[in-house]
Amino acid sequence: MRVRPTLSWTPTEDLPPGTTDPGPVADALRTGGVLVLSGAGISTESGIPDYRGEGGSLGRHTPMTYQEFTADPRARRRYWARSHLGWRTFGRARPNAGHLAVAAFGRHGLLSGVITQNVDSLHQAAGSEDVVELHGSLSRVVCLSCGASSPRGELARRLAKANADFEPVAAGINPDGDADLTDEQVGDFRVVPCTICGGILKPDVVFFGEAVPPQRVEHCRTLVRQAASLLVLGSSLTVMSGLRFVRQAARAGKPVLIVNRDPTRGDRHALTRVALPLGATLTTVAGRLDIPVDGRATGRVGR
């Protein structure tokens, strides 16, 4: 079953207002067994924009769909040119206070797991373990023909060698690591094939219009069943890939708590939505629980 691209969401009902009290989040974490579901909003403080928040990239950028990428060689050239340039910034991103707080909660045994909708691997760079990357990761590349997987850094070096004179200036970067370039800037950018079979290379991420692997979805559903509560961090929950877990938790009577400055598609299922910046809020919560957020991180996104 394909996931239809959902680029926007407008509330059709009165939603409960957000609060500035992070107390319920601290209470849930104090009890333990919290499953974290994070979205693009947790990475904005690392310099990676989100899709739908204030200044979100969807206002200027339509993400590549799976169907376009696989069917159109020109679309693949455009994608890889933009993604190659964007990776220079994206690959240097560092975890922020929000990622570090989540890692600290995990080290202190308060979490039952972390599911992220992000493709930036910043939770792992902050020290979180056993993170489920719902939409994959830009740090890996996969061949659509033979299935071989390889590090993104390896592809970046091959693309740089094949496009030695490619030095455009991008207007911005998007949550999927895609830099804003014109067709003229893309020019005759050279795309390189799989080194094993010569097939088409694709980032190991779930594009818009592509299905999340069923076994990954089922693993996440199991994590929801085993959790005491669900804590959503920085997601509008516009796309069903994340919203379904909120609905599952709510149906099971598990508390759902959301930290997101703007209203979300899951608000009516939530016990509370804390409408405050993520990094500061989670740092405050950690302080209430006497948990130090010491900046212990394993490094950058990946080479």
Q: Is 135 a catalytic residue?
A: yes
pLDDT > 70? residue 6 = no
The residue annotated as part of the active site, out of 84, 135, 219, 269, is: 135
Contact 125, 100 (CB under 8 A): no
Residue of higher predicted confidence among 149 and 59? 149
Q: Is 19 helix (H, G, I), strand (E, B) or coil?
A: strand
Q: Which helix (H) or strand (E) holds 219?
A: helix 214-226
Mean pLDDT for the stretch of residues 133-137: 95
Mean pLDDT for the stretch of residues 272-292: 97
Please state, in angstroms and rounded to a whole number, the distance separating the CA atoms of residues 259 and 236. 10
**Is residue 51 a known part of a binding site?**
yes
Please state, in angstroms and rounded to a whole number, the distance separating the CA atoms of residues 243 and 239. 6
The number of angstroms, rounded, from the C-alpha of 120 to the middle of its chain's C-alpha atoms is: 6
Confidence of residue 296 (pLDDT cuts 50, 70, 90): low
**Is residue 220 a known part of a binding site?**
no
Structure confidence by residue, pLDDT tens digits, 76-108: 999 999 999 888 878 788 999 999 999 999 999
**Is residue 143 a known part of a binding site?**
yes
Please state, in angstroms and rounded to a whole number, the distance separating the CA atoms of residues 167 and 55. 26
**Is residue 56 a known part of a binding site?**
yes
- Structure-derived torsion over alpha carbons of residues 269, 270, 275, 280, reported in degrees to the nearest 10: -140
- The size of the chain, in residues, is 303
What are the helix and strand counts (H, E) for the chain?
10, 9
Report the relative pairing of strands 149-151 and 201-205 from DSSP bridges. Answer: unpaired
Q: Which domains does the chain have, with CATH numbers?
A: 23-288 (3.40.50.1220)
Confidence of residue 12 (pLDDT cuts 50, 70, 90): low
Could you list the beta-strand ranges (E) of the chain.
34-38, 111-116, 131-133, 136-143, 149-151, 201-205, 229-233, 256-259, 272-274
Burial of 203 (0-12, 13-18, 19+ CB in 10 A): buried
At residue 167, the pLDDT reads: 86
Mean pLDDT for the stretch of residues 145-174: 90
Confidence of residue 300 (pLDDT cuts 50, 70, 90): very low
> Angle 73-90/152-162 helices, nearest 10 degrees?
110
**Is residue 44 a known part of a binding site?**
yes
- Structure-derived torsion over alpha carbons of residues 141, 92, 134, 250, reported in degrees to the nearest 10: -170
At residue 171, the pLDDT reads: 67
**Is residue 146 a known part of a binding site?**
yes
Please state, in angstroms and rounded to a whole number, the distance separating the CA atoms of residues 179 and 192. 19
The token pair at 39 is: 């979205």
**Is residue 46 a known part of a binding site?**
yes
For tokens 């970046």, name the residue.
Answer: 156
Residue 177: count other Cβ atoms within 10 Å of its Cβ: 26
For tokens 């850094």, name the residue.
Answer: 153
Structure confidence by residue, pLDDT tens digits, 181-214: 888 988 899 999 999 999 999 999 999 888 999 9
**Is residue 197 a known part of a binding site?**
yes
**Is residue 45 a known part of a binding site?**
yes
Look at residues 175, 217, 156, 159 and name the one whose alpha carbon lies nearest to residue 3. 217
Single-letter residue type at 192: V
Q: Is 68 helix (H, G, I), strand (E, B) or coil?
A: helix
Q: How would you list the strands of the sheet with 272-274, edge to edge?
A: 131-133, 111-116, 34-38, 229-233, 256-259, 272-274
